[in-house]
Amino acid sequence: MREGLPGASLALEKAKQELLRSTLLSPIDGVLDAVLVTIGERIDAGKPIATVVDPDNLHVDAQVFEHDLAVLRAGSEAFITSAGAPGKELRGRVEAILPLLDSTTHAGRAIVQFAGDGRLRPGMYAEVQLESMRLTNRRLVPTRAVIERDGRPLVFVVREGRAQWVYIEAGRSNGIETEVLPDTVTGVIPVNPGDKVIVDGHLTLTHDASVTITAMRDRGVVRAASPGGDPARKPQP
């Protein structure tokens, strides 16, 4: 029996070393999302055995229209919303812009990194707004307030209970807000900070129509207005 002890000790030590080598540590902290092997299965070097997700460091693979790629930059700010986190807007950054376009949709891809809040999970769909350019000291109106009459853009500004038809020179727009430029002749911007502009119920309004404000948004923007009062008249250009 004693003669077999050295061999058994060597075998035990070898088994301990193999056990140590079989312990795999994830290179990141996170949550185990999937196990890709079964007990007793032989695996080859380099084969994935599990997926670990860091819920505090998430990425969105966002599709970007072809014409937007030219103005998009790595490091640009991004705003993420998802049905998985209703009413919550998360901020992130464009980590990378992939060079190839989809041959069918001609859309590009941007990888957006953001910190999770515990409610978003891998595989969920999200909507991403990407900042292509940051402009300062500009006068903006909600894009929904801008309509066209006689081939010219205008907004309705509520002054003393009446909808004033104000032509504007429209500049850049992100689909949510539109820049108002100075008039090409007078150099004056026709809307002022704090003006109440109508964003709903204005498609059939005419100049100087009497209106009643029925709802307001933040920053003094009229969300809806009901026409009423005296007949309206068209302004002089």
pLDDT of 7:
66
179 CB burial (10 A radius; 0-12, 13-18, 19+): middle
2 CB burial (10 A radius; 0-12, 13-18, 19+): exposed
* Helix, strand, coil fractions of the chain, as percent rounded to 5: 15, 35, 50
Does the 58-130 domain belong in CATH 2.40.30.170?
Answer: yes
22 secondary structure, DSSP code = T
**Average confidence score pLDDT of the chain:** 82
Query: Domain map of the chain by residue range?
Result: 58-130, 140-227
d(C-alpha 184, C-alpha 117), whole Å: 47
Does the 140-227 domain belong in CATH 1.10.10?
Answer: no
**Average pLDDT in the 208-219 region?**
79
Q: Whole-prediction pTM value? A: 0.49
pLDDT in tens, 176-210: 889 999 998 899 999 999 899 999 888 888 899 99
Share of the chain above pLDDT 90, in %: 29
Inter-CA distances, 91 with 21, 70, 78, 127, Å: 41, 22, 6, 12
pLDDT of 67:
78
pLDDT in tens, 52-97: 888 888 899 999 888 788 888 899 899 999 888 888 888 999 999 9
Q: Return the sign of the alpha-carbon dihedral for residues 184, 190, 192, 195.
A: negative
d(C-alpha 190, C-alpha 186), whole Å: 10
